[in-house]
Amino acid sequence: MATAEKRHEVLVIDDEVQIRRLMRITLEAGGFTMRESDSGRGGLGEISFRQPDAVVLDLGLPDMSGVDVLKRLREWSQVPVLILSVLGHEDDKVSALDAGADDYLTKPFNGRELLARLRVMLRHSRPEDGISIVRFGAVEVDLSHRQVRRAGEPVPLTAKEYALLRLLVLHRNKVLTHRQLLRDVWGPTSDDQTHYLRVYVDRLRRKLEKDPKAPALLTTVLGVGYRLVCE
C-alpha cells in the first residue's frame, strides 16, 4: 500500500482569533497542517520545539513586533517566513524583508494567492540533487533546514544573503555570471544592478571567510562573476 504524502506543517503567529480560524480553513483545504500561536515569544518557542516547514507571521503582535520576532528567529533558523499584515506601507515591507522575511502579503488576503506563495517558498527551501548538507572550509550549509554554520557556530543571514549563498552552493565550483546571479536572486529586470551583488557578496565574505579581504571560498572571476570553491 502506498504511504500518504506528508503534509507540510505551517505555524501561524497572529493574535486575531478570526484570522487564525480563517487561516486554518485555508491551509487545511490547501493540504497543509496548521499550528498556531497568539504571541511572538510563544511563536518562537513553537518554532524551536516543532520545527515547522514554514511560518506565517503577523507584524502587530501584543508582546513584541513581528520584525523583532524575525530578527531573533534569524539568529538560529532560516525557516521560510511569510508576513501577513494589515501594514501595507512600503517601509513596513522593506523592514520585514530586510529582517529576514521571504515574502509579504497584506490583509485582507486572497486564500489562493497565500497558498501559492507558501508553495513557492517551500520549493525554494528544498535541497536539490539529494544533497542536504554541503561543507566548504569551516562552513556548513544545511539546505534542508536553511541553516548556516561557521566553525560550528550559527551564522545569521538575511533572506537575500541566504538566497545568494544557496545559489552559489547549488552550483559550487562553477562560475556564475553577474547576470545569472542577479536574475535568480533579484529578478529578471535586475541585470544592471551590479552594485547589489557587490554589496551582498561582501557581506557573505565578512560572515564566512577567514580573511574577507583575501577570500578563499567566494572568489571573484574578473569581469565575469563569482565562484564558490568547495573542495
Instruction: Give the pLDDT confidence score for residue 5 in this predicted structure.
Output: 59
Query: Residue 190 CB: number of other CB atoms within 10 A?
Result: 16
Please give the Cα distance from 73 to 57 (Å, whole number): 12
Sign of CA dihedral 113, 90, 99, 85: negative
User: Which residue has cell 544557496?
Assistant: 166
- Give me the tens of pLDDT residue by residue for the chain, a chain 231 residues long: 444 457 899 999 999 999 999 999 999 999 999 999 999 999 999 988 888 999 999 999 999 999 999 988 887 787 889 999 887 677 788 788 878 788 888 888 899 999 998 988 887 666 555 568 899 999 999 887 788 999 999 999 988 899 899 999 988 888 888 888 888 887 767 777 788 899 999 999 999 999 999 999 999 988 888 999 987
* Domains of the chain, first to last: 9-125 (3.40.50.2300), 157-228 (1.10.10.10)
Helix (H) or strand (E) holding 164: helix 159-170
Instruction: Give the pLDDT confidence score for residue 86 in this predicted structure.
Output: 84
Closest CA to 227 of 208, 201, 203, 207: 201
Instruction: Give the pLDDT confidence score for residue 111 in this predicted structure.
Output: 92
Residue pair 203/213 in contact by the 8 Å Cβ criterion = no
Please give the Cα distance from 126 to 135 (Å, whole number): 17
Cell of 89: 506601507
- pTM here is 0.60
Query: What is the three-class DSSP state of 113?
Result: helix
Residue pair 50/11 in contact by the 8 Å Cβ criterion = yes
The phi, psi pair for 83, rounded to 5°, reads -80, 130
Cell of 165: 549563498
Residue pair 146/79 in contact by the 8 Å Cβ criterion = yes
Torsion angle of the four alpha carbons 118, 106, 185, 196, in this order, in degrees rounded to the nearest 10? -160
Please give the DSSP secondary-structure letter assigned to residue 53: S
